[in-house]
Structure 1
Amino acid sequence: MVIDDDEDAEATLRRCGYYRLSGYTHYFRERPSLRRFAPGTTLRKVTDLYHFDETLRAVILDGIAQLEPALRFHVGHRLGRSARFAHRRGTYLNESGTMWAQGLDGTSRSKHASWLQEYSQQESRSQETFVQHFRRQYGPHLPVWVATEVMTLGTLTRLYDLMPDNDRKLVALRFGLRTADGDGDPGTFSNWLNFLRHVRNICAHHSRLWNRTLDVSLTRPARAFAPELAHIDASGRRRLYGIIAALRFLLARIEPGSHWYSRALTVVTDYARTSGARLSTMGFPHGWQSQELWAPKYLPDMLLREVADSVDAVDTVNRPTAMFLVEKKGDEAARKNWIRYLVRERAIIAHRMGPQQHFPTFQFRDGNVYPPAANVNVNLFSRIERTEKDSSRAAIAAQRWWMTSDLAHGFEEPPLVMLERDRDAVRKASAVWANGTMARIT
């Protein structure tokens, strides 16, 4: 290795450490023996690579930092719909996570009990101003929507794994990951979270990233619902390319205007151009530039996010549970047919997520459909479906009407709230909104 300045070399070693810096020299060694450096290798080339990796880690950390707040919100918000301390009570979590089993040390403990011990330590040592204020005003323990803000990413990831299956599916769908049948894909999303947690730890500990083969491989989601990721091969899913691709995919769904991906690619390609480094060592496949994922105008179908947001906005139940809400209609077959009839006649709002339908619960009461709500729904759909033929978007629009104040018709509060006070006024307002179309379901 050519060293032009001994003093500069010594300062570099004191600043970086020989062992850490030596990891970057292997790229410049002759193969296969690796005993000698390739001709023309200089210390400056090694340090340039070292500083490139520093910049790269900072950019990747920034991408994960843009993702984390949304993840914390959606996990905390969804669990918070069940109970403010749902993270502390196994009854609100996945049953498999609360089952006790004997560990290697001979003691019995559930996954949730182990998680709670870990989280409680993080909660107790937090000195954030908002945490101190909460403790003074309300007590020692934080509700879940606050608790997610003091968890490490690893603890947050494990809490996601403990959530009920339907909640995990909803969150996964919100971030764009679906199974082959179109439902939310919690298994793949859990893998992605663990993958990004692993990457974050590498960056936070200033470890080498640029051509590293990761210990965790990124799971590729169903091709039908993520064709823009189908080109990533096995090597790319364990290297830098997979990291940038996963963050690009997720950020496009929670922050569509984000240009983070462009900055990340510029850092990588600029270094490759000036140094001669091969992008393939970082998992970039041949022809990657032409992939849809990197197009400046790449914009995923946001309908998926809107459906998930609608299901998350109000209390909902799936079809099997909805059948119990119409128990007055007879046996199981009769109830199933009644639900189908109500959906077909647009008397109830139904949000479809893959093979499953989700129904806002305000539409049911006393063992049957709630007639005032059903009548309004018929009026709403009669207008919406004149211009909106997509059933998912029509259902979103109908629910939005229920949740939006209508000052033009004297509603200072959303019709969903006013329904309890003056159902006739709400029905008349929906009829006027639907240009006079009236209907009644009994």
Structure 2
Amino acid sequence: MLLTKPHKEYAELVDILLTRKMVVEDISYAKRKLSQVGYYRLSGFWFTSRRTAIVTENGIRQSQFIDEFLPNTSFNEVYKLYLFDKKLRLLLLDIIERLEVNIRSVMAHELGRIDPLAYKNKDFIKKDSPRVRRNYDNVWLPKLQDEIKRNKAEFIIYHRENDKEIPFWVIVEIWDFGTLSKYYSFLKGNNQKKISKKFGIDHVTFGKWLHEINILRNLCAHHSRVWNKDFNAITLPNTRVETNERTSQRVFSRILILWYLIQQTDSKNYKWLEKLKDLIDTDFPDVPNAKLEFMGLGEYTTLPIELMKQNYNEST
């Protein structure tokens, strides 16, 4: 299999950008940032700032990006967009972590009161789905057992060395969001409802939200671009915020969901929302054809923080 493109040194990569009419304010700075971040990673942030041309393929005329940047496309501003996305991911990870701990606690409390070893009890798992049963028996539970054998947390070592069963409220401390989301998907509907009602949403929608939040969490943890990413369409919480069809497939939909869920148990804490608004207001750069609406914000020019607060307050 042939390589599609030859290797380029950083100076050559800067020359490519200049040839394509990007404004490079400081060549040394650009080379340094390309060495730190990588040309390919940064290209995802200038991709839509290129000119388009009408081309004909197989008799069909269509618009296509060409290798020339729009006027005033600045390397410095593109790098600021990269930093904006990085800060956005860190904020998202912060609220996802809080939500993960919260869901763990609720799940362990609600199911643990019925059976302290509910996570090992197959009576809690759907019986009408052979696929779920196989996944639980052959994948999820063995993976958890392997983690228990390897884990070096003192509380796990204590239970392991003393041959003690690990209760639900202890075992959840070594679960990640994916383990949690998958376990919820295995549960019978009545058990799911015990958890979802604490977060003010029906059990089916809650399960779908958990799955999508886990996808978002993995993207953030692995440094993938999220600010303008296309996601799966998803049901949004009831809100005073104006949304459109595009919203449900962009990161703003996940922000609305995360905010709704976290407010069910922490309704007076607006600090995270204010940090996010400040990021959008102060750090979103001036990059041609990079617009806030690509986050799913629609006509909003900033985060509609007051509407988001009103929505929660009036729904409780």
Give the TM-score band, short-chain normalised.
0.7 to 0.9
Pair 171,47 (structure 1): closer, same or farther in 2 beyond 3 Å: same
Distance in 2 between the 1:300 and 1:217 partners? 26
Does residue 1:201 correspond to 2:206, yes or no?
no
Q: CA deviation at 1:96?
A: 3.1
Distance in 2 between the 1:135 and 1:211 partners? 45
**Counterpart position of 1:271:** 283
Does residue 1:158 correspond to 2:182, yes or no?
yes
Task: Kindly report the root-mean-square deviation, in angstroms, between the aligned alpha carbons of the 2 structures.
Answer: 2.5
Pair 100,172 (structure 1): closer, same or farther in 2 beyond 3 Å: closer
**Counterpart position of 1:220:** 236
Q: Of the candidates 288, 299, 310, which is equivalent to residue 313 of structure 2?
A: 299
Does residue 1:253 correspond to 2:264, yes or no?
yes
Q: CA deviation at 1:145?
A: 1.8
Q: CA deviation at 1:220?
A: 3.2
**Counterpart position of 1:20:** 41
Q: CA deviation at 1:300?
A: 4.9
Distance in 1 between the 2:196 and 2:243 partners? 20
TM-score between the two structures when normalised by the length of structure 1? 0.58
Distance in 1 between the 2:247 and 2:177 partners? 23
Distance in 2 between the 1:283 and 1:244 partners? 10
SS in 1 for 2:264: helix
**Counterpart position of 2:295:** 282
Q: Of the candidates 92, 110, 122, which is equivalent to residue 60 of structure 1?
A: 92
Does residue 1:127 correspond to 2:152, yes or no?
yes
Distance in 2 between the 1:88 and 1:234 partners? 41
Distance in 1 between the 2:49 and 2:281 partners? 19
Q: CA deviation at 1:269?
A: 3.1
Does residue 1:188 correspond to 2:205, yes or no?
yes
Does residue 1:29 correspond to 2:50, yes or no?
yes
**Counterpart position of 1:240:** 251
What residue ranges of structure 1 are gaps of 5+ in the alignment? Answer: 102-108, 178-184, 303-442
Q: CA deviation at 1:191?
A: 0.7
Q: CA deviation at 1:147?
A: 1.6
Residue identity in the other structure for 2:283: Y
What residue ranges of structure 2 are gaps of 5+ in the alignment? Answer: 1-21, 53-63
Q: CA deviation at 1:60?
A: 0.7
Q: Of the candidates 63, 67, 76, which is equivalent to residue 44 of structure 1?
A: 76
Q: CA deviation at 1:238?
A: 1.5
**Counterpart position of 1:9:** 30
Distance in 1 between the 2:305 and 2:85 partners? 25
Is the contact made by 2:80 and 2:285 (CA closer than 8 Å) also made in structure 1? no
Pair 84,192 (structure 1): closer, same or farther in 2 beyond 3 Å: same
Is the contact made by 1:122 and 1:151 (CA closer than 8 Å) also made in structure 2? no
Pair 64,291 (structure 1): closer, same or farther in 2 beyond 3 Å: closer
Is the contact made by 1:54 and 1:206 (CA closer than 8 Å) also made in structure 2? yes
Is the contact made by 2:51 and 2:70 (CA closer than 8 Å) also made in structure 1? yes
Deviations 1:256-287 (A, max 9, x none): 12221221122123334766742111111225
Is the contact made by 1:112 and 1:162 (CA closer than 8 Å) also made in structure 2? yes
Pair 264,300 (structure 1): closer, same or farther in 2 beyond 3 Å: same
**Counterpart position of 1:92:** 124
Percentage identity across paired residues of the two chains: 29
Residue identity in the other structure for 1:278: K
Deviates more, 1:270-279 or 1:117-126: 270-279
Aligned length: 280
TM-score between the two structures when normalised by the length of structure 2? 0.80
Between Structure 1 and Structure 2, whose CA radius of gyration is higher?
1
SS in 2 for 1:22: helix
Distance in 2 between the 1:209 and 1:197 partners? 13
Is the contact made by 1:249 and 1:293 (CA closer than 8 Å) also made in structure 2? no
Distance in 2 between the 1:25 and 1:300 partners? 41
